[in-house]
């Protein structure tokens, strides 16, 4: 079956190549593709500020690439931003000074400074770290450059500890004693129970006696502000699941090494927490009813209120349809709901923001309850919404600062401007009463701003996927901003090397109305008279939006691959973020959807506008969730997608990490998990497939890929498998990239790729 499919696919491609007399996927194309990173990487874009930092309220610094090496600029705002003093550090003179001081030859084009800082009172006095010392330079921006004193940097203290893996759950044991607010007593865990004593260990007494190894008290103890109470979670642990990896080719020894990694999966039993409060003087314990938090995915907190009369904690319900902020009264033990977020599908809990105002009576809360992600003021005494602060068919992306003194909130948002790309991020401020919303970054584009200490000044860099970055120093003038351009990126070097920008393209999705936004990447030697196969890079899911919106001189997912003779596309379809909750919810219990009905319509629309895009030869590739989706494309939509490269895919949502999959697929684990499984549907394969997996993948269990392999073998399907020894979660690294290039050249062009040995020859 597969051979017939390939032949029918290749005949039109081969005929077209013969008619044009010019093949794609040649040795020359490969060499050019592999050369593009050196030609187009960020160091080849000049005058584009990076590492922008404020040093206090008025001084700032940043670095830029130049043909001679990295330059550094320092600035000082003393009045009008338009007259701010901005000067370059003379790097050639500094390199000469450091060469003399260190006795080493330090070429100016290799000198890079770290932890640069400017003295706000003397902006020409600059400190930086280099060669194991902290140096000070006087008159850094004048011809009288001179080195000041230097200090040896301290050595790291203590033995290096391997950081906790992100899938490991802290058992909350073994923390140091917690000192009371008055400094006279300490609370700690002993024999799984809560104890208090004097600081010197005298007058020890137990506050609890019901803690056991199977239901113990957390050592993350919290004293009330007045020292009257100690609060601790009582934890009933659950048996942990582990994933095992065999490192076949370790560098340290000949024999393989077995690794074990804590790794909870959907449906696994989880620990259960109960916040308990103890009166330190009387020993009285307050153990609350668990009615309002009885189906836990997790429980966060507790935290004491300012008045010390209650603690608050947050309850994330298993299945993520309900999220509550709860209050436990220290005297009565009564639990009440302060905020409840609920949804028939899912609450996107990782996106929520909360900020309790001084006095503890109000909270700023982020919610998608009206379909759009917005800010609300919650009356904590009544447990109700007092008012909606932001509103409209657009989304708040991130809260930057809550200025309680001036009753102002600073935040980012996208979609506010109806005529602009709805994913472009702009910066705003709004009064807490919901009035006087002001855009702080007015120009069209995707913005990234860095603010000074009091948010009166900011440096704003903006660009689009097609337009070079512009960097502006800004301040507010009433409801408008005043600015001075600090830099306009210089693209002359990459343009002379053949760089062309991707095209931002929009077309309606499955409903024929809602626009889908994406990019089209063409090769540098693009010829509209040729016919180009299309490859889609995919990563989907409501955790984010994934198509680049800012300027990228080199896109690792599209640039080199297109150079082989493809049109490479990427878009955000339904089931991704920042277009409203209904847009996101398309994926609920249906991750196999992955926005494919929108993607197919979008690519067909692009091919209709651009006849050189061959929508009869469409390939797809991705990693992780994108790996799952790339395989799903050829299993569920083989009439459109003709070849798939799938790396480190979470091919069965029952096999993958608990937090991602229960968030979007729900709990308990039901038949929807089976319907979306690439393992269960592997028998559908009729298109060419390359599976890639790193044997040490600690993000997605490598067994997920191997179970697809097992199902394909049992179904007698032809496919390719690449196992990468010692490799973790990856698109395939350089070896996998080369395999990916060859795979698509063979399957979509019908061309035999050049020998690997030929590519090594100059």
Q: pLDDT by residue (tens digit) across 713-731?
A: 999 999 999 999 999 999 9
pLDDT value at 224 more than 60: yes
pLDDT value at 12 more than 50: no
pLDDT of residue 762: 64
Is residue 29 classed as helix, strand or coil in its secondary structure?
A: helix
Q: Peptide bond preceding 302: is omega within 30 degrees of 0, i.e. cis?
A: yes
Task: Quote the percentage of the chain above a pLDDT of 70.
Answer: 97
Distance in angstroms (rounded) separating the CA atoms of residues 729 and 560: 21
CB atoms within 10 A of CB 492: 10
Closest CA to 221 of 204, 209, 235, 201: 235
pLDDT value at 17 more than 60: no
Close Cβ partners of 333 (under 8 Å, ≥ 6 residues apart):
277, 286, 287, 288, 289
Average pLDDT score over the chain: 94
Distance in angstroms (rounded) separating the CA atoms of residues 169 and 189: 19
CB atoms within 10 A of CB 271: 17
Place of tokens 């705002």: 77
Distance in angstroms (rounded) separating the CA atoms of residues 743 and 619: 10
CB atoms within 10 A of CB 218: 22
pLDDT value at 6 more than 80: no
pLDDT of residue 161: 77
Distance in angstroms (rounded) separating the CA atoms of residues 476 and 50: 23
Mean pLDDT of 222-236: 98
Task: Quote the percentage of the chain above a pLDDT of 90.
Answer: 89
Crossing angle of helices 625-636 and 596-609, in 10° steps, is: 70
Closest CA to 677 of 650, 700, 714, 652: 652
pLDDT of residue 419: 92
Distance in angstroms (rounded) separating the CA atoms of residues 70 and 131: 17
For Cα atoms 651, 652, 656, give the angle at the middle one, nearest 5 degrees.
95
Q: pLDDT by residue (tens digit) across 555-578?
A: 999 999 999 999 999 999 999 999
Q: pLDDT by residue (tens digit) across 57-81?
A: 999 999 999 999 999 999 999 989 9
Supply the pTM of this predicted model: 0.94
Q: Peptide bond preceding 411: is omega within 30 degrees of 0, i.e. cis?
A: no
DSSP-assigned letters across all residues of 553-599: S--TTTHHHHHTT-EEEEEE-BTBSSS-HHHHGGGTT-TT-TTHHHH
For Cα atoms 43, 48, 54, give the angle at the middle one, nearest 5 degrees.
120
How far CA 114 is from CA of 92, 120, 128, 649, in Å, comes to 17, 18, 6, 38
pLDDT value at 4 more than 60: no
pLDDT of residue 20: 43
pLDDT of residue 163: 86
Q: pLDDT by residue (tens digit) across 633-658?
A: 999 999 999 999 999 999 999 999 99
Q: pLDDT by residue (tens digit) across 695-706?
A: 999 999 999 999
154 — pLDDT class (breaks 50, 70, 90):
confident
How far CA 648 is from CA of 150, 525, 598, 727, in Å, comes to 48, 32, 24, 10
Closest CA to 431 of 409, 451, 416: 409
Q: pLDDT by residue (tens digit) across 388-440?
A: 999 999 999 999 999 999 999 999 999 999 999 999 999 999 999 999 999 99
Q: With residue 480 as reference, give the H or E element that holds it.
A: strand 480-488
């Amino acid at each position: 079956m597969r051979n017939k499919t390939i032949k029918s696919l290749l005949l039109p491609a081969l005929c077209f190549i013969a008619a044009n007399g010019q093949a794609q996927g040649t040795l020359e194309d490969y060499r050019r593709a592999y050369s593009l990173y050196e030609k187009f990487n960020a160091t080849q874009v000049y005058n584009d500020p990076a590492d922008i930092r404020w040093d206090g309220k008025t001084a700032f610094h940043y670095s830029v690439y130049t043909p001679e090496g990295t330059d550094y600029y320092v600035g000082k705002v003393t009045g009008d931003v338009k007259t701010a003093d901005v000067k370059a550090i003379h790097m050639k003179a500094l390199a000469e000074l450091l060469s003399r001081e260190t006795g080493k030859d330090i070429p100016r084009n290799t000198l890079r400074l770290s932890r640069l800082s400017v003295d706000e009172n003397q902006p020409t006095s600059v400190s930086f770290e280099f060669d194991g010392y902290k140096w000070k330079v006087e008159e850094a921006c004048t011809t009288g450059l001179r080195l000041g004193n230097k200090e040896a940097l301290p050595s790291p203290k203590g033995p290096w500890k391997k950081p906790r893996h992100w899938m490991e759950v802290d058992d909350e044991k073994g923390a140091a004693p917690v000192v009371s607010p008055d400094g006279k007593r300490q609370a700690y865990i002993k024999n799984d129970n809560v104890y208090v004593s004097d600081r010197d260990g005298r007058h020890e007494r137990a506050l609890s006696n019901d803690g056991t190894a199977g239901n113990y008290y957390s050592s993350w103890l919290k004293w009330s502000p007045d020292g009257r109470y100690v609060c601790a979670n009582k934890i009933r642990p659950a048996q942990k699941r582990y994933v095992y990896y065999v490192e076949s080719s370790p560098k340290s020894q000949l024999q393989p090494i077995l690794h074990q990694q804590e790794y909870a999966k959907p449906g696994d039993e989880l620990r259960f927490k109960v916040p308990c409060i103890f009166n330190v003087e009387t020993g009285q314990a307050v153990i609350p009813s668990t009615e309002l938090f009885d189906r836990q995915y997790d429980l966060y907190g507790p935290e004491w209120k300012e008045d010390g009369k209650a603690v608050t904690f947050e309850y994330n319900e298993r299945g993520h349809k309900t999220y509550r902020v709860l209050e436990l009264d220290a005297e009565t033990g009564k639990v009440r709901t302060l905020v409840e977020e609920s949804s028939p599908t899912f609450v996107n809990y990782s996106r929520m923001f909360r900020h309790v105002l001084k006095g503890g009576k109000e909270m700023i809360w982020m919610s998608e309850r009206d379909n759009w992600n917005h800010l609300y003021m919650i009356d904590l005494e009544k447990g109700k919404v007092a008012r909606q602060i932001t509103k409209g068919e657009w989304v708040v992306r991130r809260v930057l600062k809550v200025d309680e003194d001036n009753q102002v909130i600073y935040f980012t948002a996208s979609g506010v401007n109806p005529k602009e790309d709805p994913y472009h991020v702009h910066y705003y401020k709004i009064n807490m009463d919901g009035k006087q919303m002001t855009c702080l970054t007015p120009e069209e584009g995707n913005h990234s701003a860095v603010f000074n200490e009091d948010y009166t000044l900011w440096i704003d860099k903006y660009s689009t996927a097609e337009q070079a970055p512009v960097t502006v120093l800004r301040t507010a003038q009433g409801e408008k901003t005043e600015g001075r351009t600090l830099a306009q990126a210089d693209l002359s070097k990459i343009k002379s090397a053949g760089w062309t920008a991707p095209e931002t393209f929009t077309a309606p999705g499955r409903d024929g109305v809602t626009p889908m936004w994406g990019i089209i990447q063409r090769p540098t030697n693009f010829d509209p008279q040729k016919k180009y196969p299309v490859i889609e890079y995919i990563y989907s899911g409501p955790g984010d939006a994934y198509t680049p919106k800012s300027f990228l001189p080199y896109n690792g997912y599209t640039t080199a691959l297109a150079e082989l003779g493809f049109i490479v596309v990427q878009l955000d379809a339904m089931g991704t973020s920042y277009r409203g909750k209904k847009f996101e919810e398309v994926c609920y219990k249906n991750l196999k959807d992955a926005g494919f009905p929108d993607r197919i319509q979008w690519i067909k629309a692009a091919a209709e506008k651009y006849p050189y895009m061959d929508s009869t030869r469409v390939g797809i590739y991705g990693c992780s969730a994108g790996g799952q989706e790339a395989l799903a494309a050829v299993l569920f939509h083989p009439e459109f997608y003709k070849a798939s490269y799938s790396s480190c895919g979470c091919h069965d949502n029952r096999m993958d990490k608990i937090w991602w999959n229960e968030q979007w697929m729900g709990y308990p684990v039901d038949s929807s998990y089976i319907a979306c499984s690439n393992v269960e549907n592997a028998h559908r394969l009729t298109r060419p497939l390359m599976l890639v997996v790193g044997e040490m993948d600690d993000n997605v269990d490598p067994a997920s890929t191997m179970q697809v392999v097992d199902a394909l073998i049992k179904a007698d399907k032809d496919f390719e498998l690449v196992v990468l020894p010692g490799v973790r979660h990856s698109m395939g690294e350089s070896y996998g990239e080369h395999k990916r290039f060859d795979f698509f050249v063979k399957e979509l062009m019908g061309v035999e790729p050049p020998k690997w040995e030929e590519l090594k020859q100059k």
